[in-house]
């Protein structure tokens, strides 16, 4: 059976789901092909150790889609406190940027559930769940996807929102540079003895980076980027909590594990292009960054918003000139974020260079004393 769409999106994770909703609001005929059965009712249950720091710009985007999760489940970052490995420190707050919050912390499952709940009522979107594509072909006028259940989808544009190992990217012959960081991100949630006061705390530990992110109530979520995740994962819950509390200088007193630790390998992924004939890539399919700045999914949502805007402005969503505008429009923001994270990572992991530890810690302290630069940092964090 052949079905015709304006846009077919492969991958119904956060970015693909957001793009599908944005295109639905334009009345575009969309198919969203998600390999897993995404039963959103189950998505909401329990704590999720994977959390995202959503920027104010992306909160506005999600709000516009009606997909901002219940605030009872959202932590607010009012300020940041970043510590170097030898006494360096910088702190800045939303007030420095005249904003309500630097970012909001949301759990992956709850955010995904909010998007999928909206998708159930999206009249222009056909949800195709639990099915994967088998082949992708394209010509100057359209692209065609053959699904494993025998369906054929024809569209003006196929979007790869299928994550870092993107099948669409591979089928489109787009090569990607991959640089493993030699680290994994260990994530877990904790109840804390003391209130966190909306402060996101980060420690550059010399051989790793530890972030404590405020969840609602007296709870936090951590991302510990470390070259050796295994010893942490092997610890019994109480010992793990004690090690995390110790690494964070006991800033919130005793910790108690809410969700067991999980680890994800970290790498920098840079495809040579994010478009091909009748194809565009968004989200992790188009880029990955180190989570030290918590910007991965923020970049992805901005891809979706930008691509949706460009599609809204034209008649043919897969027209080459429009795709070129999308690629050019996203290049600088993505590259800047990748470079910033990569440089910070390099600076705090270059042990062998004499004086580098002094330089990075002095740099943090100096910046901390310069109100103008701090305001710029805060404004950058909130997406001004």
Give residues with Cβ within 8 angstroms of 342, minimum separation 6.
268, 289, 290
* Residue 326 C-beta: closest distance to ligand FAD, Å: 15
Return the number of the residue (54 or 310) whose C-beta is nearest ligand FAD: 54
If the CB atoms of residues 19 and 357 are measured against ligand FAD, the closer one turns out to be 19
Please, what is the minimum distance in Å from the beta carbon of residue 126 to ligand FAD? Answer: 14
Q: Is the Cβ of residue 127 or residue 373 nearer to ligand FAD in the bound state?
A: 127
CB of 352 to ligand FAD, least distance (A): 26
153 membership: H or E segment, kind and range:
strand 152-160
Burial 23-58 (b: 16+ CB within 10 A, else e): bbeeebbbbbbbbeebebeebbeebbbbbbbbbbeb
d(CA 287, CA 225): 19
Closest CB to ligand FAD among residues 188, 357 = 188
Contact positions vs ligand FAD (CB under 6 A): 10-16, 33-36, 52-53, 132-133, 161-163, 167, 185, 187, 223, 264, 283-284, 291, 294-298, 300
Residue from 209, 249, 212, 185 nearest 346 by CA: 209
- Sequence length of the chain is 384
Closest approach of ligand FAD to the CB of residue 176, in Å: 14
CB 355, min distance to ligand FAD, A: 31
How far apart are CB 100 and ligand FAD at their closest, in Å? 19
Q: Checking phi first, is residue 268 left (phi over 0); if not, alpha (psi -120 to 50) or beta?
A: beta
Residue closer to ligand FAD, measured from CB, 183 or 361 = 183
Q: Report the 10 Å Cβ neighbour count for 260.
A: 11
Q: Which is nearer to ligand FAD, 168 or 357 (CB)?
A: 168
168: three-class secondary structure by DSSP: helix
What is the Cα Rg of the chain in Å? 21
- Residues 6 or more apart whose CB falls under 8 angstroms from that of 81 comprise 89, 91, 199, 200, 201, 202
Considering beta carbons, is residue 112 or 311 the nearer one to ligand FAD? Answer: 112
Q: Is residue 20 a contact partner of residue 30, using CB atoms and an 8 Å limit?
A: yes
| Half-sphere exposure of residue 316: CA atoms within 13 angstroms, side-chain side | 14
* Nearest distance, CB of residue 107 and ligand FAD, angstroms: 11
Query: 221-254: string of b/e by CB count within 10 Å (b at 16+)?
Result: bbbbbbeebeebeeeeeeebbeebbebbeebbee
Q: Name the minimum Å distance from CB 101 to ligand FAD.
A: 15
**Minimum CB separation from ligand FAD for residue 172, in Å?**
13
DSSP, collapsed to helix, strand or coil, labels residue 278 as coil
Q: Which is nearer to ligand FAD, 266 or 357 (CB)?
A: 266
Handedness of CA 285, 286, 292, 293 (dihedral sign): negative
Which H helix or E strand runs over 86? Answer: none
Q: Are 291 and 266 in contact (CB under 8 A)?
A: yes
Q: Which is nearer to ligand FAD, 24 or 34 (CB)?
A: 34
């Amino acid at each position: 059976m052949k079905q015709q769409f304006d846009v077919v999106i492969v991958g119904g994770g956060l970015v693909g789901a957001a793009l599908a909703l944005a295109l639905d609001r334009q009345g575009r005929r969309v198919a969203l092909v998600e390999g897993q059965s995404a039963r959103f009712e189950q998505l909401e249950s329990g704590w999720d150790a994977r959390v995202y720091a959503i920027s104010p710009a992306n909160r506005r985007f999600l709000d516009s889609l009606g997909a901002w999760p219940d605030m009872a489940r959202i932590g607010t970052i009012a300020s940041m406190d970043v510590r170097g490995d030898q006494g360096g420190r910088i702190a800045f707050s939303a007030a420095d940027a005249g904003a309500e919050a630097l970012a909001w912390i949301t759990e992956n499952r709850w955010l995904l559930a909010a998007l999928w709940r909206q998708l159930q009522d999206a009249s222009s979107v056909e949800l195709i769940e639990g099915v994967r594509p088998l082949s992708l072909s394209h010509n100057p006028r359209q692209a065609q996807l053959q699904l494993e259940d025998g369906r054929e989808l024809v569209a003006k544009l196929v979007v790869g929102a299928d994550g870092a190992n993107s099948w669409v990217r591979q089928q489109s012959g787009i090569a990607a540079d991959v640089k493993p960081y030699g680290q994994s991100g260990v994530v877990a949630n904790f109840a804390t003895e003391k209130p966190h006061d909306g402060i996101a705390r980060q420690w550059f530990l010399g051989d790793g980076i530890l972030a404590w992110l405020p969840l609602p109530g007296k709870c936090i979520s951590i991302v510990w980027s470390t070259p050796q995740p295994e010893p942490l994962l092997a610890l019994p819950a109480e010992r793990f909590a004690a090690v995390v509390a110790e690494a964070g200088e006991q800033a919130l007193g005793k910790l108690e594990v809410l969700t067991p630790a999980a680890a994800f390998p970290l790498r920098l992924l840079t495809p040579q292009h994010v478009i091909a004939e009748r194809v565009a890539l968004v989200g992790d399919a188009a880029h990955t960054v180190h989570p030290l700045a918590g910007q991965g999914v923020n970049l992805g949502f901005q891809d979706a918003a930008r691509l949706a805007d460009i599609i809204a402005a034209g008649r043919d969503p897969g027209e080459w000139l429009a795709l070129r505008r999308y690629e050019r429009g996203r290049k600088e923001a993505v590259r800047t974020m990748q470079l910033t994270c990569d440089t910070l990572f390099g600076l705090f992991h270059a042990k062998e260079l004499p004086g580098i530890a002094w330089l990075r810690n002095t740099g943090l302290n100096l910046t901390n004393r310069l109100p103008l630069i701090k305001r710029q940092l805060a404004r950058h964090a909130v997406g001004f």
